[in-house]
């Protein structure tokens, strides 16, 4: 069997894995990254690409304090708060951000407003914690240009992924004014021409832009990145120290990793057996769907032989997100995560009884919590987004694009339902017509005044950020009263697990006795979340992935040196005499 030598082996090529690899490589260590997928980037590449990193330079300049960040996280985590883990994360943020910007050359954008998701909580901030990256030209990838995970197709506008911020705002106005229409037309035309000529457009946005920049930096640092390569088994020596892994696929053999192995292979939301155990709403493994990539429990599979186990202490086992499942024209299964859409004016969500059960302008995670709570002890976790012709014409509903795009395809795919009246729509989707009409009447009465007495939708900065800031008097509210009427089914999904491999504050995997497995680490959604089940803001998965990945890459050589020194001390003749009770001068 072929043996490949390296200093560090990283399993998984998302933001956590590449961040770990980058820091280790910049410190002079050889690194190999392996990924079982045929593309690099994992779920990070199809994400929004934000990173929640309190303590960054913008926040510090605006007066954000460590105490405020801790207070905010503690509020969201509740009884699941882990002060040591949170402290380790916050300690590392400034140093990690300096490394990515100054050494690795990753360009970040510090938006004027990027509100925390729970603006009602103590310590929340309107800006200074969430950062993103500007659009990237994929030609910086060189030979790796086509190796990055493509966008989630259902999230694009005919192949183009609008950039979160002014770019997507222009797309939302494309059917309302000529300037925005021309803007969108230019973007789409450029995308189509480049796709025809070069297989994929050069412009990369959101999570694809982040991973484009990280992978370009990794390639420049000399990191070997192997795709279609599965880590089958992690290896260790007779003393119990992890020494590498056995791999198969496009590259096969044994990798000997002198300093250690880092698991960054994602969580387990794609594994029905593990969902049955850890997702209370999915006891049969059939009540959940995930758009994540590669989150099939490989991280646990690899660590389990050494006592690696799932830490399910977070009060929510995953970062939730309502998802619509539908089918493409060729019958392929598709997903659309509703991360923003139904906070817009003229859209609400109801349960199977036709009743609103939560504030639609909550974060996707917090709305998911309410969905699970509302459907507890009922068969299936689901609801319906409801809109009228006005909202459909102006905004669309997620994947179902607004006028002038024809609705025929969206209806044929099973994504969109349409009916001329509320009663007819209720019959089509199977909810009580009288309850749905009563819900709309109640909502409309308040929405006409720009108020939501039941759930206070549109009452803070984060709500407004999800709405239409140009809509008055409330960016999140408009009556739903003009037929025809539309509905889209939402089910329970996720953006990655919060329960994960038990680790200590050094990201070392813990065994059944909660002792570190020497030389084995877990970062990203492979490891338990530092936020205790809360979702603080934009990039709550990617922020810790990059920061704790950086820290692991920084410290892995020091940890190996500590182990070597301890081994040398324990094996010295004097130590051996002392341990056997035969030391001299006793």
Q: Left, alpha or beta for 546 (phi > 0: left; psi -120 to 50: alpha)?
A: alpha
Q: Where are the alpha helices (DSSP H) in 199-248?
A: 206-220
pLDDT digits (tens, 9 = 90+) for 259-316: 999 999 999 999 999 999 999 999 999 999 999 999 999 999 999 999 999 999 999 9
Tokens of 37: 């997928």
pLDDT value at 341 more than 80: no
In angstroms, how far is CA 358 from the centroid of its own chain? 23
Select the more confidently predicted residue: 340 or 130. 130
Q: Which of 187, 151, 145, 149 is nearest to 166 (CA)?
A: 187
pLDDT at 158: 82
Q: Which residues contact 408 (CB under 8 A, 6 or more apart)?
A: none
pLDDT value at 583 more than 60: no
pTM for the model stands at: 0.94
pLDDT at 586: 24
Lowest mean pLDDT of 81-95, 430-444, 514-528, 572-586, name the range: 572-586
Q: Which 3 state secondary structure label does DSSP give 371?
A: helix
Angstrom distance (rounded) from CA 346 to CA 336:
20
Of the pLDDT bands very low, low, confident and very high (cuts 50, 70, 90), residue 331 is confident
Q: Which residues contact 406 (CB under 8 A, 6 or more apart)?
A: none
Select the more confidently predicted residue: 565 or 552. 552
pLDDT at 202: 95
pLDDT value at 512 more than 70: yes
pLDDT at 578: 38
10 Å CB burial of residue 101 (0-12, 13-18, 19+) is middle
In angstroms, how far is CA 561 from the centroid of its own chain? 34
Angstrom distance (rounded) from CA 525 to CA 437:
42
Mean pLDDT across the stretch 555-583? 70
Lowest mean pLDDT of 95-104, 127-136, 289-298, 322-331, name the range: 322-331
Question: What angle do the packed helices 542-570 and 15-26 form, to 10 degrees?
Answer: 50
pLDDT at 572: 59
Angstrom distance (rounded) from CA 213 to CA 546:
13
Lowest mean pLDDT of 16-25, 26-35, 175-184, name the range: 175-184
pLDDT at 330: 76
Q: Which 3 state secondary structure label does DSSP give 9?
A: strand
Angstrom distance (rounded) from CA 212 to CA 207:
8
Mean pLDDT across the stretch 191-209? 94
Of the pLDDT bands very low, low, confident and very high (cuts 50, 70, 90), residue 584 is very low
Summarize the chain as % helix, strand, coil (round to 5).
40, 20, 40
pLDDT digits (tens, 9 = 90+) for 69-100: 999 999 999 999 999 999 999 999 999 999 99
Q: Which of 105, 99, 101 is nearest to 23 (CA)?
A: 99
Q: What is the mean pLDDT of the chain?
A: 94
Angstrom distance (rounded) from CA 39 to CA 227:
6
Lowest mean pLDDT of 71-80, 223-232, 389-398, name the range: 389-398
Q: Which residues contact 534 (CB under 8 A, 6 or more apart)?
A: 73, 75, 76, 77, 78, 80, 118, 315, 316
- Cβ distance 147 to 134 under 8 Å? no
pLDDT value at 369 more than 60: yes
pLDDT value at 340 more than 80: no
Mean pLDDT across the stretch 51-72? 98
pLDDT digits (tens, 9 = 90+) for 145-193: 999 999 988 888 888 888 877 888 888 788 888 888 898 889 999 999 9
pLDDT value at 579 more than 90: no
Select the more confidently predicted residue: 168 or 550. 550
In angstroms, how far is CA 249 from the centroid of its own chain? 27
pLDDT at 14: 98
Angstrom distance (rounded) from CA 66 to CA 494:
29
The count of other CB atoms within 10 Å of the CB of residue 529 is 30
pLDDT at 580: 37
Mean pLDDT across the stretch 249-260? 98
Of the pLDDT bands very low, low, confident and very high (cuts 50, 70, 90), residue 101 is very high
Select the more confidently predicted residue: 407 or 78. 78
The count of other CB atoms within 10 Å of the CB of residue 241 is 17
Mean pLDDT across the stretch 44-73? 97
Mean pLDDT across the stretch 363-386? 97
Of the pLDDT bands very low, low, confident and very high (cuts 50, 70, 90), residue 47 is very high
Backbone torsions φ then ψ of 155, nearest 5 degrees: -90, -5
Sign of the Cα torsion 464, 470, 473, 476 reads negative
Of the pLDDT bands very low, low, confident and very high (cuts 50, 70, 90), residue 573 is low
Sign of the Cα torsion 208, 209, 213, 216 reads positive
Using the 8-state DSSP alphabet, how is residue 150 labeled?
A: P
Sign of the Cα torsion 549, 553, 559, 560 reads positive
CA distances in angstroms from 292 to 59, 69, 237, 364, 572, listed in the order given: 30, 28, 34, 15, 50
Lowest mean pLDDT of 71-80, 336-345, 352-361, 452-461, name the range: 336-345
Lowest mean pLDDT of 187-201, 267-281, 549-563, 569-583, name the range: 569-583
pLDDT value at 474 more than 90: yes
Angstrom distance (rounded) from CA 482 to CA 462:
28
- Cβ distance 503 to 510 under 8 Å? yes
């Amino acid at each position: 069997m072929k043996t490949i030598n390296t200093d560090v082996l990283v399993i998984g090529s998302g933001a956590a894995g590449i961040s770990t690899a980058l820091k280790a490589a910049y410190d002079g260590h050889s690194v190999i990254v392996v990924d079982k997928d045929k593309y690099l980037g994992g779920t990070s590449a199809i994400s929004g690409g934000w990173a929640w990193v309190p303590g960054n330079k913008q926040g510090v300049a605006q007066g954000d304090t460590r105490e405020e960040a801790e207070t905010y996280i503690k509020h969201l985590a509740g009884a699941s708060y882990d002060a040591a883990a949170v402290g380790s994360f916050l300690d590392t943020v400034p140093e990690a951000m300096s490394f990515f910007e100054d050494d690795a050359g990753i360009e970040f954008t510090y938006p004027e407003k990027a509100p925390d998701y729970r603006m009602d909580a103590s310590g929340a901030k309107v800006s200074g914690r969430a950062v993103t990256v500007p659009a990237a030209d994929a030609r910086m990838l060189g030979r790796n240009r086509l190796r990055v995970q493509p966008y989630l197709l259902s999230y694009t506008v005919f192949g183009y992924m609008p950039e979160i911020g002014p770019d997507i705002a222009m797309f939302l106005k494309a059917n309302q004014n000529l300037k925005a229409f021309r803007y969108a037309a230019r973007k789409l035309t450029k995308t189509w021409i480049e796709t025809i000529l070069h297989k994929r457009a050069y412009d990369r946005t959101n999570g694809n832009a982040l991973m484009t920049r990280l992978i370009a930096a990794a390639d420049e640092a000399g990191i070997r990145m192997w795709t279609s390569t599965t880590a089958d088994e992690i290896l260790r020596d007779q003393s119990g120290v992890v020494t590498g892994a056995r791999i198969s696929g496009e590259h096969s053999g044994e990798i000997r990793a002198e300093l250690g192995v880092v698991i960054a292979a994602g969580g387990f939301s794609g594994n029905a057996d593990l969902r049955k155990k850890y997702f209370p709403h999915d006891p049969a493994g059939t009540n959940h769907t995930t758009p994540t990539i590669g989150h099939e429990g490989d991280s646990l599979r690899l660590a389990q032989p050494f006592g690696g186990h799932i830490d399910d202490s977070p009060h929510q086992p995953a970062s939730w997100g309502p998802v619509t499942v539908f089918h493409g024209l060729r019958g392929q299964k598709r997903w659309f995560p509703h991360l923003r859409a139904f906070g817009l004016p003229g859209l609400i969500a109801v349960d199977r009884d036709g009743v609103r059960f939560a504030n639609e302008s909550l974060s996707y995670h917090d709305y998911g919590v309410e969905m699970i709570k509302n459907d507890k002890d009922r068969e299936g976790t689901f609801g319906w987004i409801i809109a009228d012709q006005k909202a459909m014409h102006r905004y669309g509903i997620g994947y179902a694009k607004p006028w002038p795009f024809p609705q025929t395809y969206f209806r044929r795919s099973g994504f969109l339902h349409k009916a001329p009246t509320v009663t007819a729509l209720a019959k089509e989707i199977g909810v009580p017509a009288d309850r749905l009409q009563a819900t709309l009447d109640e909502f409309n009465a308040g929405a006409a005044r720009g108020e939501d007495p039941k759930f206070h939708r549109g009452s803070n900065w984060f709500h407004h950020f999800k709405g239409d800031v140009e809509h008055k008097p409330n960016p999140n509210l408009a009556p739903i009263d003009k037929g025809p009427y539309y509905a889209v089914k939402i089910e329970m999904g996720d953006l990655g697990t919060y329960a994960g491999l038990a680790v200590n504050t050094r990201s070392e995997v813990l065994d059944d006795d909660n002792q570190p497995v020497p030389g084995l680490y877990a970062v990203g959604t492979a490891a338990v979340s530092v936020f205790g089940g809360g979702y603080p803001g934009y990039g709550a998965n990617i922020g810790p992935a990059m920061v704790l990945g950086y820290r692991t890459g920084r410290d892995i050589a020091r940890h190996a040196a500590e182990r070597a020194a301890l081994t040398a001390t324990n094996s010295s003749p004097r130590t051996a005499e002392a341990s056997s009770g035969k030391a001299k001068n006793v």
